[in-house]
Structure 1
């Protein structure tokens, strides 16, 4: 199979493939998604096969608008309207209990709930509209590896396995959406996966406490939401997390052991330690926003440099730092450098 690169003028062609049961990757503000028509069971099954994704890991359904969700859901949390008004389109996925047999069971991995998101990307919204049906859209990569934030990442992992990729440039956020469970109208909303829409932002907008599920799922367990596995997003090269006060010790240790080190490096790190780095993925500045945007692309790039270890900076787990550290900890299999 030849994987075609579609541009904005070719959305109609890409949509036709999806209507007929083919797979087309699409851009979003978070990461690239692997699109299949959510109403076609065989197409959705192909997503799991192509990614090598465990069948117990549910998928997110991408919609054009909230009206599309109402085709599949008839009982809503009382906060739903406010949440949708304030955060859609955007990097927030909402879990609803769906009508019986409203979507193929493979979409939900057999659960009674389904995750929905309205992405904030004009090309993908136009694609969904042209298809006339919602699209499942897990990250368009080999399962367990760093998520794709550029179309080139998708092509690297899935060339020859899918029909096409809708080109949308680099993603702007770089980590997957926040997943908020509002499937039980009698319970407070609960974050199952952190993302760019933070607990603080939700609480400020909704004026209610937001719960956070801290449970990490082992490989043998079935998750309630994508992104809950204990180890995930990992390159082949071992990743270690480094606290800001430990960089000197980390580089001295690596040098004394003659290890080749790749680094997700801020401008300050590049200035201080460039002579001790074998390979560098430059972050644009010192902020967690830059680190989150560059995380997956950096892990992928450094994985190609034949280094022994990848060092990545630790950030405070507040705001976007919660989502960044959630992904980094899984990529590093929870391993911090210890002086």
Structure 2
């Protein structure tokens, strides 16, 4: 809950091109009837915030808004000029496509080729996970979707967010929004409005603030368009692979679910991706990240003891001053429960990722922990590996992209 339902805070950095307003929105004041895409908004202050954001969007200006996954940097998806502002604000490479966000099934159908029919797998997944953190690939009609959105690919990634503020904003602007995460390209995705403000202050006009995101990692991206009928998870995320498999089974659809880089590789797709998060290094804080593997090492790898590894850390950073080491560890793992040694010249900064058996908690905490350690000015970040089941698969997908190196250690 907010101390006040509406607040406008202006920030101006030395190099800012415009003042940035942070406008509070009360998500509990927004509701949707299942039969209608129109939101009901009981708070005038929240409606005012949304209307100011709509005004900027219609002027082809980008706006930051919360989703259930992470905060998004949105602009009109069907206006190439508006969409181009996303790339300039983020410093995003032009060959990295964007996800289009819709507020209703009716809006979805306005974006699709008239000849396209939903496969049964999509019908099942949409009924189960929309609105929600699931993105699906659809054929792209070049007469509808600008090429800047798809990076000239034949498909377009679309989802319907479940966050009331995101869905209400799209409904009020009456147009789909393209929206990647609201951060400088390559950095950890923001899960609070404050994360966005620290990063993009002065680069855009409005940030809608509805508190911390519930999921904490980006949406799951699924490609079900291949001729073989198999479901390919291009990016694991807020909807787990296990949930997808269960939904298809319950719908009596015997379809194999494959995870990119776990079950198969596609070099052509990696070179020219159809969805974000596949080609470039992502999710990296300022400090270099080392992934610590604590499970059984592969053949030929001799792990260091944790104590021996800790003794090597200061040597890895060329400095004569004290070294700040950030540690992201699971609460109840052997690594998480061990006491960090007192070593001359090392200063520990610890962030807990939650219990071993609750990967959804780890997913929710990961980006916030990385950004918090960056704010504390650490010189290096160590992240403990997470078992790759349920949300843990998405966590490790992000950690591997963030890490510049990995080490095997024993506790």
Same fold at TM > 0.5: yes
Instruction: Quote the offset at 1:319 in angstroms.
Output: 1.6
Judging changes above 3 Å, is the alpha-carbon distance between structure 1 residues 126 and 338 closer, same or farther for their aligned structure 2 residues?
A: same
* Cα separation, partners in 2 of 1:337 and 1:197, compared to 1, 3 Å: same
Q: What is residue 266 of structure 1 aligned with on the other side?
A: 330
Pick from 218, 242, 247 the counterpart of residue 176 of structure 1.
218
Q: What is the distance in 1 between the residues matched to 2:266 and 2:223?
A: 16
CA distance in 1: counterparts of 2:354 and 2:364, whole angstroms: 10
1:18-49 deviations in whole A, cap 9, x for unaligned? 11211111111111110101121111001011
Q: Give the CA deviation at 1:64.
A: 0.2
Question: Aligned residue for 2:287?
Answer: 237
Alignment match of 2:180 (pick from 127, 138, 141): 138
Query: Is the deviation greater in 301-310 or in 190-199?
Result: 301-310
Cα distance in 2 between the residues matched to 1:304 and 1:288? 24
Q: Indicate how the Cα distance of structure 1 residues 185 and 7 shifts in structure 2: closer, same or farther if over 3 A, else same.
A: farther
Greater shift, 206-215 or 95-104, is seen at 206-215
Paired position in structure 1 for 2:319: none
Answer with 120-129 or 259-268: which moved more: 259-268
Alpha-carbon distance in structure 1 between the residues aligned to 2:223 and 2:132: 16
My pick for the range that moved more, 84-93 or 72-81, is 72-81
Cα 1:216/1:166, change in 2 over 3 Å:
farther
In 2, Cα distance between equivalents of 1:216 and 1:5: 41
Please give the root-mean-square deviation of Cα atoms over the aligned residues, in Å.
2.3
Is 2:93 the counterpart of 1:51? no
Q: Deviations over 1:122-175 (max 9, x none)?
A: 011111111010111100000001111111111111111111111111111111
Computing the radius of gyration from Cα coordinates, the structure with the larger value is: 2
Task: Return the offset for 1:216.
Answer: 7.8
Give the Å deviation of 1:186.
5.7
* Residues 207-266 of structure 1: CA deviation (Å, up to 9, x unaligned): 221122224879x93322101125211112111112346999335422454353211133
Q: Distance in 2 between matches of 1:121 and 1:90?
A: 8
Map of 1:253 onto structure 2: 309
CA distance in 2, matches of 1:187, 1:245: 35
Q: Which of the residues 223, 242, 245 maps onto 2:273?
A: 223
Evaluate the alpha carbon distance shift between residue 79 and residue 280 of structure 1 in structure 2; reply closer, same or farther with a 3 A threshold: same
Paired position in structure 2 for 1:21: 60
| Alpha carbons of structure 1 residues 265 and 315: separation in structure 2 relative to 1, 3 Å | closer
- Contact 1:91/1:178 (CA < 8 Å) preserved in 2? yes
Deviates further, 10-19 or 253-262? 253-262
SS of 1:166's partner is strand
1:61 corresponds to which of 91, 100, 118: 100
Q: Can you give the 5+ residue segments of structure 2 that lack an aligned partner in the other structure?
A: 1-17, 26-45, 250-254, 297-302, 315-322
Q: Which residue of 2 aligns with 1:3?
A: 20
Residue 51 of structure 2 aligns with which residue?
12
SS in 2 for 1:267: coil
| Bigger strand share | 2
CA contact (8 A) 1:77 1:186 kept: no
Q: 1: CA distance between counterparts of 2:119 and 2:75?
A: 28
Quick check: 22-31 or 270-279, which moved more? 270-279
Runs of 5+ in structure 1 lacking a partner? none
Equivalent residue for 2:259, pick from 212, 221, 226: 212
- Residue aligned with 2:377, SS: coil
Distance (whole Å) between structure 2 residues aligned to residue 67 and residue 212 of structure 1:
30
Secondary structure of residue in 1 paired with 2:238: coil
Partner residue, 2:205: 163
TM-fit CA distance, 1:316: 1.5
Q: What does residue range 267-286 of structure 1 map to in structure 2 within 5 Å?
A: 267-268=331-332, 271-274=337-340, 276=342, 278-286=348-356
Tell me which of 241, 262, 270 is aligned to 1:199: 241
- In 2: Cα distance, 1:267 partner to 1:137 partner: 33
Kindly indicate whether the alpha-carbon contact (under 8 Å) linking 1:66 and 1:84 is maintained by their aligned counterparts in 2.
no
Q: Give the total of aligned pairs.
A: 337
